[in-house]
Amino acid sequence: MVHVAGSVLDPDLGDHVCLPFDGDRQRMAATRLFTLNGLRRRTKVLIITHAETPERTRGWLAPLVPGFDDAEAAGQVEILACADAHLTGGALDPDRVLHGLADAHHRARRHGQAVVYALIDASWGARDARAQAAFEAAANELFGERWLAAVCQYDRGLFPLDAIERATAVHPIAPEQALMRFANTSSPPGLRVWGDLDLTNRPAFASVLARLEKEPGQVVIDASQLGFIDAGSAQLLTFTAAARPYGSTSVVCAEPVARVLRLVRADEFVVVRRVGDA
């Protein structure tokens, strides 16, 4: 029996998950479970391969997933090579990745699926793990639109421990770290964030806040369902507000979060509105 982290392989829309694994058996077991979950949810399942070809993946995966052939014929499952989705001339092409995901969304809608479930073999970035982590962090903004869920598989046999730790930290969700979920908001512009924020996912939180520094006018961060925030993450909120016009950033939160914001003197830059206040 191969153990895989089941809950992260059944992500909610907007989830950007990092899943380290050990060896082909874990990778294949995770791919099977992710595909089953995506089909059960009636999403478009997009599998991006690197360690092996799409043809080889299809060859072992199809017999393990009931209805796979029909789903693929109907456009509900797609398997692409990383070279055709992430790379140009052998190097990462961020625009190609983001446009490719948007195109997958358009194809999904044409076939009656409103959302995309993407499973990505992250071994394409093993030669430059720092650049890969920077791209993963920048990609978080896309997940705030909440039509996409993705699990990025990191092979512990290819990535050193520090690279794995860097990758998990820039993902809002990973096994054995605090779980953060978020959504971009437009009326008013801002962010809704829930779950927990601590040292383990602080870089991911920083990447999500970065978008707000460019927003003109008032911004509201709805943290009313945030379960926990540590002082370091509260300071990130302070830095974001300090980079914006004075008084233009509001945070809606419960008293425990407000207490931490006061502790780091965030209320000198942030308008703190407690849940239930008039």
Please state the CATH superfamily assignment of the domain spanning residues 7-170 in this structure: P-loop containing nucleotide triphosphate hydrolases (3.40.50.300)
What global pTM score does this model have? 0.93
For residue 41, the SS3 value is coil
> Model confidence at 5, in pLDDT bands (50, 70, 90)?
low
Instruction: Give the sign of the dihedral formed by CA 79, CA 80, CA 86, CA 90.
Output: positive
Distance CA 228, CA 260 (A): 9
Q: Which helix (H) or strand (E) holds 126?
A: none
Q: Which helix (H) or strand (E) holds 197?
A: strand 189-197
Q: Residues spanned by CATH 3.30.750.24 within the chain?
A: 180-274
**229-250 mean pLDDT:** 97
| Token pair in block for residue 64 | 């393990």
For residue 272, the SS3 value is strand
Q: Residues spanned by CATH 3.40.50.300 within the chain?
A: 7-170
254-269: pLDDT as tens digits: 999 999 999 999 999 9
Q: Position of tokens 């595909």?
A: 35
Taking domain 180-274, whether its CATH number is 3.30.750.24 is answered by yes
83-121: pLDDT as tens digits: 888 777 777 788 888 888 889 899 888 888 889 999 999
For residue 57, the SS3 value is helix
Q: Which amino acid is at 187?
A: S
- Intra-chain end-to-end CA distance of the chain, in Å: 55
Helices (H) and strands (E) in the chain, counts: 9, 13
26-79: pLDDT as tens digits: 999 999 999 999 999 999 999 999 989 999 999 999 999 999 999 999 999 999
Q: Which of 60, 70, 61 shows the shortest CA–CA distance to 36?
A: 61
For residue 241, the SS3 value is helix
113-145: pLDDT as tens digits: 889 999 999 998 888 999 999 999 999 999 999
